[in-house]
Amino acid sequence: MLTRNFRQGRIIFARLDHGEDIIRQFTILAEENGIETGALSAIGALSRADLACYDQSSHEYGKIALNDPVELASCSGNISLKDGRPFVHAHAVLSDRTGKTWGGHLISGTIFAGEVFLQELSGGLPLKRVPDSITGLYLWSKD
């Protein structure tokens, strides 16, 4: 197991921009605040979204396209470095007007409204994502 210890840095609240992509907005938030390592959570609503489930046999993401408005009932994720730049990994639970939910890896989503809590983590070696041959994913390097 890889472990890293950090100290809590800044806590940033942000209102996301209507019509923009949620992953892109998370990334801009990290970049503009110089955050290389952090944890985030968000709530709000999306006008559409793409979730995914990773097929552990084929090593490919199966996309779940949601083309109707949904609540962003829950979203949690982290920020670490990939190719030297802040990279957001987020999962989400989305719900419709009946309360039906979908969950998974959040690929993209068009923001209707969104509020983010971002916790900067500092004082430790940055977490860097590298290709992992066993899973086919970009995981945190032990180096």
- Binding stretches for Zn ion (CB under 5 A): 105
Bridge-based pairing of strands 128-131 and 70-82 is parallel
User: From the CB of 136, what's the least distance to Zn ion, in Å?
Assistant: 12
Residue nearest Zn ion by beta-carbon distance:
105
Q: Decide whether 10 or 59 has the Cβ nearer to Zn ion.
A: 59
Q: Decide whether 105 or 128 has the Cβ nearer to Zn ion.
A: 105
30: left (phi over 0), alpha (psi -120 to 50) or beta: alpha
User: From the CB of 123, what's the least distance to Zn ion, in Å?
Assistant: 26
User: From the CB of 2, what's the least distance to Zn ion, in Å?
Assistant: 17
DSSP 84: T
User: From the CB of 102, what's the least distance to Zn ion, in Å?
Assistant: 14
Give the whole-angstrom CA distance, residue 39 versus residue 80.
9
Burial class, 125, CB count within 10 angstroms (exposed 0-12 / middle 13-18 / buried 19+): exposed
Secondary-structure percent of the chain, ordered helix, strand, coil, rounded to 5: 10, 60, 30
